[in-house]
Amino acid sequence: MNRLTGLTLTLVLAMVLAFPIFTGCGGKPSATPTEQELPEILDNAALAVQNASSYKFLIDTNTAFAANADSEVEDMSAKLKIAGTANVDDSEMQLIYDIDLSGYLFEYQEGLEVLHGEVYVLADWTYQKTDMPGNDQWVKMLSDVSYDQYNVIVNELTLLDSPEKVEFIGFENVDGSECYVLKVTANLENTETWFTEHQMTADAIYWPEVEPYIGELNFTVWVAEDTSLINKMDAAMLIDFDNPADVPDFDTMTIGVVMEMTDYNEPVTITLPDEAKNAQEVT
């Protein structure tokens, strides 16, 4: 397996982790919440997501490196888009993803800059296909742990745990309803897994290497005032490499993730495409 294939599997098996899904906000807004009430709003939002029976989501991740003035390399970027449907009650999930590495300098095979793939996690089997030059075959593996591996909710919900700070920005109308808009400064102790899943680099950057350079991880969350369901999350992390000896080519690394959640608790059926029914079994 070449290194970029390993990257693809990492993005699918690991990065495809993370986000709640929600029906929009609703009703006339209440009075402005007090500072003491804000952590409770976040806790209730996480609980509401965990109790949802189904949902749909869109995740848009952008990782970028800014080269310093003395570097021989250019700015780099990588993008990942995921559209997903989760049937939580039956532990089933569909994921359709697109990976764009065209802005990333690497020494791997040509033709792998833009990748498209699909994943179907069903009761007994998990099916996967990634469109790559010379390899667009469906494969399947036993689903004993697949749902947890591909669950894109758990990772994002960790950002809601024990935040350093929660600020009330205001109310915002979303799809004709009112939501709390909260700015949250995450507890860095909860962000290692989040960083690992979203860094989107061909060569892994390990948490101890970047932790000293991380500024605040801030995110904004839209929470339904009447249902406590999350409608949207927008997260951003800035890493400022101020020691050239450690990272000689780049000044900064940024990770931005936007998640939109819809169709909470709606009836959903995950249907396997006909072309995947003859997938090759792998272990």
Using a pLDDT cut of 90, give the percent of the chain over it.
Answer: 38
Q: Residues 251-271: what's their mean pLDDT? A: 91
Separation CA 221–CA 210 (nearest Å): 25
Distances (CA, A) of 175 to 27, 49, 82, 229: 11, 19, 22, 14
pLDDT of residue 14: 37
Residue whose tokens read 């209730």: 44
Query: pLDDT tens digits, residue range 181-239?
Result: 999 988 877 776 677 666 655 555 666 677 777 776 788 999 999 889 999 999 888 88
Instruction: Kindly report which listed range (52-56, 159-163, 178-182) carries the lowest average pLDDT score.
Output: 159-163
pLDDT of residue 16: 34
Q: What are phi and psi of 253, to 5 degrees?
A: -130, 130
Computed over every residue of the chain, the mean pLDDT equals 79
15: pLDDT strictly greater than 80? no
Between residues 276 and 144, the one the model is more confident about: 276
Out of 9-13, 90-94, 143-147, 251-255, give the one with best mean pLDDT.
90-94
Asked if 129 and 117 touch (Cβ cutoff 8 Å), the reply is yes
